[in-house]
Amino acid sequence: MIPNEVMTRSDAGDIIDRATGTLVSLEAMKSRAAVMIGADFPLVFWRGKGRIVASDDVNISLLVRGTRVDLTWDRVGATWERLLWNHTLTVDELGGGADAVGLVSLFAFLDGKAVSVLDTDGLLVCTTVDGTPVHQFADMSRPTSWAPWRRKIHGD
């Protein structure tokens, strides 16, 4: 059990993650992003760098190759859960725009140990998986349920 005093600290998310041994939580992302305003991070799938422009309890703002991307933490959390459920996440799944690149790159930057990055495909893969993935991606142009990038990972 985690004491209440720990829950009020600004680094509570990091402490909880270390104590439970789970992937980074949304609270840990918020606390890390808040202290990293102005920090550059490498972009996944696109060349160049992104930057954390602003972060508060409701939103995070990124600068992705000259485009400002404002995201709510609710969207970030829902996308993070999607990654955990599917064990993979691509830039294309999220629409392929600056917001998708920024979000995938932010995940790779904030929790690089929990995910592996296939940069040429814009793909994140969870390094530790729990259970069977819930696949939400289907390539209807191919006669198989496995998308081409999933073949690279699983060898099917």
> pLDDT tens digits for 23-33?
467 888 888 89
Number of domains, the chain: 1
The answer to whether residue 3 sits within a structural domain is no
- Parent domain of 150: 10-154
Buried b (16+ CB within 10 A) or exposed e, 93-128: bbeeebbbbbbbbbbbbbbeebbebbeebbbbbbee
The answer to whether residue 4 sits within a structural domain is no
Give residue 148's pLDDT: 55
Give residue 38's pLDDT: 95
Give residue 143's pLDDT: 47
The answer to whether residue 2 sits within a structural domain is no
Give residue 84's pLDDT: 85
The answer to whether residue 85 sits within a structural domain is yes
The answer to whether residue 1 sits within a structural domain is no
Q: How far apart are CA 97 and CA 62, in angstroms?
A: 13
**Which residue numbers in the chain have pLDDT < 50?**
20-23, 138-146, 151, 154-156
Give residue 119's pLDDT: 87
